[in-house]
Structure 1
Amino acid sequence: MAGPDTHASPAPARSSSFAPLRQPVFALLWVAAVMGNLGTFMRDVASSWMVTELSASPAAVALIQTAATLPIFLLAIPAGVLSDILDRRRLLIALQVLLGGVSGALLLLSATQTLTVEWLVLLTFVGGVGAALMGPTWQSVVPELVSRDELKSAVALKPLGINIARAVGPAIGGLLLASFGAATAYGADVLSYIFVIAALLWWKRPEAKEDGLKEQFGGALRVGLRYARASRELHVVLLRSAAFFLFASSVWALLPLVARQMLGGTAGYYGVLLGAVGAGAIVGALLLPRLRGRLGADGLVLLASGLTAGVMAALAVAPPRWVAVLLMGVLGVGWIVALTTLNGVAQAVLPNWVRGRGLAIYLMVFNGAMAAGSLSWGLVAQEVGVPLTLLLGAGGLAVIALAFHRIKLPTGEADLQPSNHWPEPLLSAPVAHDRGPVMIQVEYRIRRDDLPAFLQAMKHVERERRRDGAYAWGVAEHASEPERVIEWFLVESWAEHLRQHHRVSRADAEMQAEALRLHIGPDRPRVEHLLAL
């Protein structure tokens, strides 16, 4: 079970940033996602501006941002489980229909002059539910569409597509809003969902093979949480993400008020500001490969924090409108650098079998920080005003960026492909998949002088066992034969242990090999499987 994988994997070939677009299915779905986001930004511009017409309260304006992001915080983990156990194509189609219905309802309410703040918040919340369920699923399909050596480029293209839509969508939405009213902007969003659904129907995703080990929702949820609890690499990504987005959210929550009250702009000008963010993000995405080579992931997050904090501080003094447009471009650079870097590291530290659930937890932290930050900054602005709130957010972001810079992001270079080096368990008779719990015992022979080094190596093995599904783990020595050391761990069922066989990665095999080098027995460590009666 615990032997190392002796076959090294070949080094991946280098590929250009746009190489994934040569894959027809990826290219079509990427374009569809751009179109979908284009409509979403039109809808968001209309909703953000309409709430300023319906209420002058900063808290009400910030509540729209909270309503959009809170569902993602609440539902991200269940959404990740669904993306790992359901057919992702069918799930995406159903969610597009739901989101199209939300925009259709907004269209009818605005056309009949019955749209209120309450309706805006409610429908924005329902749209957030759809986005919560869709986010992990969209991200999880990327490894299915491109080769492994193109995965990082494909991951980077997703936020580039979002920001292409951000560069155009808000400006178009603002023009439609100013020229024809909110109903037209909402109608354009409905049309975008039709395009996305058509692309998903064209994609013929291969049917998953039934192997008898398909996870159920409850077990998949528990295993995903265990993985997140045991993965230190993921902990660092989540901590750094929460620190950045909690403070950076202030500029997004208050931007409609900055445009309308501080700068005296119209709906069209607000769209131009958001379009400038998208244009800056495109520039940032093009500069990112060169910046990544010079600064690394930690330097990129520090750079993004500095740019964002500087923009927030500059907006606080109510600069001329044209200067504000330039500042929004700088904000776009900082935003795409932070978002792509943190998302890319999260993707890189997650194996495929738990990718949806891991990304869901990342999205939960991201949107939870955005929701909590937006609501908090809105309440602060209501008490002390928008300019001072922006200054407080800028100062807090600068301080937290410097403080957390010492907590280094993982490199994400570990080989997470399954090693498949565990031999199949020996059975006297077939075991029902739902039987459990199961105790697995691995017996090592360790010299007394080597015991401290062995226990140190087993700390890494413990994290691997818990990440892959064990809910309890320990090491014990034999009372009469101190050189006999027993590693034991518990899993919920026989099926869950069989899944462990397929989850162990090549990087995990290397960690297990560190402990195996101290084993002095003539044979491999003895493995026993004990079934509860």
Structure 2
Amino acid sequence: MPAAARAVRPSTFAALKGRNYCLYWLGLVFYVLGHRAEYMTFAWMTWEVSRDPLSLGYLGLAQGVPLVLFQVFGGVLADRIDRLRMLIVTQILTAGTLTIAFALTMSGLVRLEHLLVLAALSNTFRAFDEPSRMALVPQLVERDRLANAIALGSIPWQAGRMIGPSITGILIAAFGGAIGFGLAALASYTALALYSRLRLRGTASAGTGQRVLAQFVEGLSFVAHNFVFSCLIALALFNSLFAMSYLTLLPIFADAYFHAGSTGYGLLNAAHGTGALVGSLTVATIAHLILRKGTALLVGAACVGGLLIVFSFSPGMGLALPVLVLVGFCNTFYLMQVSTFLQQKVPDHLRGRVMSLYSLCWNLLPLGGLLAGALAAAVDARFAVLFGGAMVAANALLLLASRRLRAIS
């Protein structure tokens, strides 16, 4: 019996043993590198050409509004056409947009209006890219490796958060803003080359012949009438609006409260990223051993809220750093399980629409940052983080009272 158990026990990197997922994962590494380089370079170049803080606000709108407006419709499209083809097309369009940004910057012709239009275009394409990308993963791996694949898929995002801006910042400092767009474009073309090598045996449902609006309503209705799905997506929404909004306030904690300046700011960000990376590897390794997944993910969410409350009272970096490592760990630990459950249980013909609603929650992070900033201005940053943590913990504890949610397996 022990020998049999060892034979089927998945390894930490089990999903990477499959050709398709390995190619997809390597493509994701380059996609994330390009994504991080793109966002940082757009921000830097916008500041460089305008020297106006308001222009950075316009850039945030140009990047955020298309995601909010089009992402759910991107999910509808992911349920109507071939998802791999959609992923490749959006990657081509994104790479082309970044190439134009590189050429304009390199030639010295770039203006603020160019940057805003190109940023809006890139994020419009990303609004259609993300649902197809999330809905495609179950077609790339066996069902028993899906949890492992989803956990591994978060690693490039967590590592990229720590590494991508550093690489881009050094290159921009040495060679100027054009190199940032060049790096983003090169990474996007590399991801495209890897995605083009994917070979799928089966394709997703091509849809039922319904109109786009009817399919959109069908997706919303499915989530609204499914108690478990609506609660888990609400959990992700609370995470974006009240938990991760603390990231917006980290400069205040680093400078005004901890007197650690930009170095402290970098360390606080790195602490969260380190915890998130460890959390991803942990889920990839032990996901199959968690028997009470519903209880585990809800307790993880409650811990995120509780830890943010502790962080809000931190007197200095000595306590703040280990607390943020734990915040990053718990946050990734429970959200990866939410994502896995949604991917495993959603009907395939609704996968794109449901996952687009889930990913839309992530793109509401700027709104959470706005709420946190308003609270910080009205009271102070410590109170804003305390309030956000209390909201997340209270929501998780309320959901923990549900037997149906605790029974998730």
TM-score by length of 1: 0.63
Which residue, 272, 277, 282 being the options, matches 2:277?
282
Q: Which amino acid in the other structure matches residue 356 of structure 2?
A: A
Residues 46 and 252 of structure 1, relative CA distance in 2, 3 Å threshold:
farther
For residues 120 and 336 of structure 1, the distance between their equivalents in structure 2, rounded to whole angstroms, comes to 33
- The residue matched to 1:202 in structure 2 has which SS? coil
Q: How far did 1:378 drift?
A: 4.6
Q: Which amino acid aligns with 1:265?
A: S
Equivalent residues in 2 for 1:444-459, closer than 5 Å: none
How has the CA–CA distance of structure 1 residues 218 and 29 changed in structure 2, closer, same or farther, with 3 Å as cutoff? Answer: same
Q: Are the structure 2 counterparts of residues 139 and 259 from structure 1 closer, same or farther at C-alpha, using a change threshold of 3 Å?
A: same
- Determine if contact 2:304/2:389 at 8 Å carries over to the other structure: no
Alignment partner, residue 170 of structure 2: 175
- Which of 390, 395, 404 does residue 386 from structure 2 map onto? 395
Change (3 A) 1:209 1:77: closer
Aligned to 1:439: none
Matched, 1:344 2:336: no
Aligned to 1:301: 301
The 10-residue stretch of structure 1 (169-178 or 253-262) with the greater mean CA deviation from structure 2: 253-262
User: Paired residue for 2:224, among 223, 226, 229?
Assistant: 229
TM-score between both structures, scaled by the size of structure 2: 0.80
Contact 1:276 1:329 in 2 (8 A): yes
Deviation at 1:253, TM superposition (A): 3.7
Question: Per residue, is there more strand in 1 or in 2?
Answer: 1
Q: How many angstroms apart in 2 are the aligned matches of 1:125 and 1:334?
A: 33
In the alignment, structure 1 segments of 5+ residues that lack a partner are 1-12, 415-533
1:146 is paired with a residue whose SS is coil
Partner of 1:200: 195
Give the one of 143, 147, 161 matched to 2:142: 147
Highest RCO, 1 vs 2 (Cα 8 Å, sep ≥ 6)? 2
1:103-182 pair list within 5 angstroms: 103-112=98-107, 119-182=114-177
How far has the Cα of 1:82 moved from its partner? 0.8
**Cα displacement string for residues 169-206 of structure 1 (whole angstroms, at most 9, x for unaligned residues):** 12211221222222212211100111111112111234
Is 2:25 aligned against 1:34?
no
Aligned length: 390
Q: Which amino acid aligns with 2:340?
A: G
In 2, distance between residues paired with 1:258 and 1:122?
A: 34
CA RMSD of aligned residues (A): 3.6
2:4 is aligned to: none
Does the aligned pair in 1 maintain the 2:304–2:392 contact within 8 Å?
no
User: 1:223 Cα shift?
Assistant: 2.4
- d(CA) in 1 for partners of 2:110 and 2:228? 45
Q: CA deviation at 1:133?
A: 0.8
The correspondence for 1:406, drawn from 388, 398, 405, is: 398
Q: Which residue of 2 aligns with 1:525?
A: none
For the pair shown, which has the larger CA radius of gyration, 1 or 2? 1
Q: AA paired with 2:262?
A: G
1-side partners of 2:253 and 2:97: how far apart? 27
Following the alignment from structure 1 to structure 2, what is the Cα–Cα distance between the partners of residues 90 and 245?
A: 30
Asked if the contact 1:311–1:330 (Cα under 8 Å) also holds between the matched residues in 2, the reply is no
Measured after TM superposition, the shift of residue 27 of structure 1 is 0.7
- Structure 1 counterpart of 2:361: 365
Q: Is the 8 A contact 2:268 2:321 kept in 1?
A: yes
Q: Equivalent residue for 1:23?
A: 18
Give 1:286 shift: 2.6
* Residue type at the aligned position of 2:392: A
Aligned residue number for residue 265 of structure 1: 262
Mapped to 2, the partners of 1:106 and 1:98 lie a distance apart of 13
Question: 2 CA distance for matches of 1:340 and 1:209?
Answer: 23
Distance 1:62 1:307, change over 3 A: farther
Cα distance in 2, alignment partners of residues 258 and 155 from structure 1: 32
Q: CA deviation at 1:216?
A: 5.1
**What code does the residue aligned with 1:30 have?**
W
Aligned residues of 2:63 and 2:119 also touching (Cα < 8 A): yes
Greater helix percent: which structure? 2
Distance in 2 separating the partners of 1:50 and 1:257: 24
Percentage of matched positions with identical amino acids: 25
What residue is the counterpart of 1:86 in the other structure? 81
User: 2:341 is matched by which residue type in structure 1?
Assistant: V
CA distance in 2, matches of 1:16, 1:286: 11
Contact 1:307–1:334, Cα closer than 8 Å, also in 2: no
Within 2, Cα distance between the matches of 1:272 and 1:95?
Answer: 35
Residue 299 of structure 1 deviates from its aligned partner by 0.7
Partners in 2 of 1:206 and 1:272 — Cα distance?
Answer: 45
| Secondary structure of the structure 1 residue equivalent to 2:398 | coil
